[in-house]
Structure 1
Amino acid sequence: MALRNTTLASVDLERQAAKSKPNYHLKPSSTFVAKAMFAILCFFLLGCARFAKPADLGGNGGGVPYFSQPGSVFLLAGQSNMAGRGGVVNDVWDGYVPPECQPSATVLRLSPGLIWEAAKEPLHLGIDINKTVGIGPGMSFAHTVLTKDPGLGVIGLVPCAAGGTNISEWGRGGHLYTRLIRRGEAAARGGATIQALLWYQGETDTVNLEDAKKYRSRLRRFFNHVRTDLELPTLPIIQVALATQQGPYIDEVRDAQFHVDLPNVKTVDAKGLQAGPDYLHLTTASQVQLGQMLGDAFLERMPLRLQTSSASRRHHSFVSGFLCRPFR
């Protein structure tokens, strides 16, 4: 009897000892597994969105990895010198892209089909469809702004310019105006902020004295309509004062540009920048310089700028924050 009790006591002690030992074969909790799987999935999906190639997302090629959505948007409108004729001679573009205009992972373009894609020159390809396009100020502007203010995040350029157009053709209800507003609205979807309108136009209005005299009132009306229809009453507008002309009335148009007298409108003077063989369109080097001038003008307006969307900052910090958060 004593032997049997001793045996039972020994068995009980062995069972208790087994229970006290750590079990390295226990399965992880379902909560831990679920959160780990979810974190891995988020990391994979965001990585795909961030580093997808342009061809994968309907882009224009070039093989530059890029973000799928911008945080800061700039509208580019006007006529040929905004659309870009740098490097174009006898309707042929020489294909040279200066270092200041090279593609970047942080510069996108809104395509003619309203799809964000990696931006590359010619920026207005498929937008200004009636003429050969070359280098314009847009890419140089974007690189200047990002170099001096990286906090703006990914920049989205929205080309809308069309060569040979009169200011009256940009009136509300017309094709060019309607396209500008439609592309601006599309660019702002997803939380992006339209930071400014870059405007370079007026050469065509130097041909006729009546057009030159009415330029100031038409320009003021155009700027006011854009702000109203985009619902951005304080939208910064940076316009370019003419460097060249098609007719004899350049002084009248330039005077109107410098005296538009609207708040949050800044004028950058292109006078002195070199034109090409046609004496009308800026050279590639001049377009690069103009883009840098526009970028500096925008950055000088820092206190008046709209707030950049925080969507891109949330996008980048989500995965790291989730992975670093302790599992509970």
Structure 2
Amino acid sequence: MSPVKVKESHKGGNKNLQVFILAGQSNMAGNGGVHRQIESGVVTNLSWDGFVPKECKPNPKILRFNAAEKWEKAHEPLNYGIDCLRACGLGPGMAFANEILKKDPEFGVIGLVPCAKGGTPLHKWRRGSSPYDSLIRRAKFAVKNGGNIRALFWYHGESDGKSKNTSSLYKKNLDNFFQDLRSDLHAPTLPIFEVIIPYPKEPFVGPYIEEVRAAQLGINISNVIKIDAEGLELGSDGLHLTTPAQHYTKFRTLVYVAPSETCF
């Protein structure tokens, strides 16, 4: 999908730009509407159905920081070019931004900075590793000409639920990630929306998901807002949220409305 150009005024700097970092794994990258062709247990083809619900439609006051580190008008799929090139689908970012503007039309121009990397275990999100260093670089560059980093929206954990070792270290690694992120962005009280991953279904195998969920729920850091995604509809792979789940009213109310009263 070709990028949509932004007016020069946005490129030159915007002190009213409200920046949100979108990071984590494939559910943040977006898999809503992605169909998988499986042969002998192996995914052989991916395709996105192209359906964009009204909650995720483009808005002139919502921008995306693309793979070339330029601002453009935001549109689905948000994470295209950042991680997935073949078949990105819908994630929660556009519904998130649209809901903020629906609640507060004077909030300002929202800048979404997608940084999700599908399948990356948490130990990869540390200083000196590509996903982490890329996130910090993109976030800083996004506000180089003006704007404020308002929050991190984080959805991660499924791959660490496959292993006893990674699940046992999850709480420590997550605590370090949140603390390092705030330190490196010079934002010690940066609000963090932490999605608590739902229990997967067959055919996905994650025997230690319970341990990962417990670690996520056990994080005791100020201004971290925990959002439990349990109960949201999962696709046929038993792992990824469907398009309806990405903009489900209950989920949007929990994630996109209630926290804003205390964080923004």
TM range (shorter): 0.7 to 0.9
Matched, 1:217 2:179: no
Residue number in structure 2 paired with 1:88: 34
Deviation (angstroms), 1:128: 1.3
Deviations 1:25-64 (A, max 9, x none): xxxxxxxxxxxxxxxxxxxxxxxxxxxxxxxxxx813x88
The answer to whether the aligner puts 1:295 opposite 2:256 as a matched pair is yes
Counterparts of residues 256-275 of structure 1 (less than 5 Å)? 256-275=215-234
Ranges in structure 1 where 5+ consecutive residues have no aligned partner: 1-58, 306-328
Encode CA deviations 1:129-176: one digit per residue, 9 max, x unaligned.
Answer: 365210000000000011102232000000000111100111111000
Q: Which has the bigger relative contact order, CA under 8 A and spacing at least 6? A: 2
Asked whether 1:78 is paired with 2:24, we answer yes
Match of 2:192 in 1: 237
1:227-266 per-position Cα deviation (integer Å, ceiling 9, x unaligned): 0000001100011001144411111111111111001101
Q: Report matched runs for 1:17-166 at 5 Å.
A: 60-61=3-4, 68=10, 69=14, 71-90=17-36, 91-129=46-84, 132-166=87-121
1:151 partner SS: coil
Offset at 1:65?
7.0
Find the residue that maps to 1:222 and give its secondary structure.
helix
Give 3-state SS (helix, strand or coil) of 1:254's partner. Answer: helix
Contact 2:6-2:72 within 8 A present in 1 as well = no
Note closer, same or farther for the CA distance 1:207–1:222 as it changes in structure 2 (3 Å cut): same
**Alignment-mate amino acid for residue 222 of structure 2:** P
Letter in 2 for 1:101: C
- Would you tell me which structure has more helix in proportion to its own residues? 1
When the two structures are superposed, what TM-score results if normalisation uses the length of structure 1? 0.71
Moved more, 243-252 or 88-97: 243-252
- Cα gap change, 1:158 to 1:230, in 2 (>3 Å): same
What does residue 204 of structure 1 align with? 159
Deviation per residue, 1:4-23 (Å, 9 max, x gap): xxxxxxxxxxxxxxxxxxxx
Structure 2: gaps spanning 5 or more residues: 37-45
TM-score by length of 2: 0.88
Question: Percent identity between the aligned chains?
Answer: 46
For the 8 Å contact 1:144–1:295, the answer to whether it is kept is yes
TM-fit CA distance, 1:78: 0.1
Aligned residues: 244
Kindly indicate whether the alpha-carbon contact (under 8 Å) linking 1:138 and 1:291 is maintained by their aligned counterparts in 2: no
Q: What secondary structure, in the 3-state scheme, does the structure 2 residue paired with 1:301 have? A: helix
Give, as a single letter, the amino acid of the residue that structure 2 aligns with 1:282: L
Whichever of the two has the greater Rg, that structure is: 1
Q: Which runs of 4+ in 1 moved over 4 A?
A: 63-67
Tell me, in whole angstroms, the C-alpha distance in 2 between the residues paired with 1:79 and 1:130. 15
| RMSD between aligned residues | 1.8
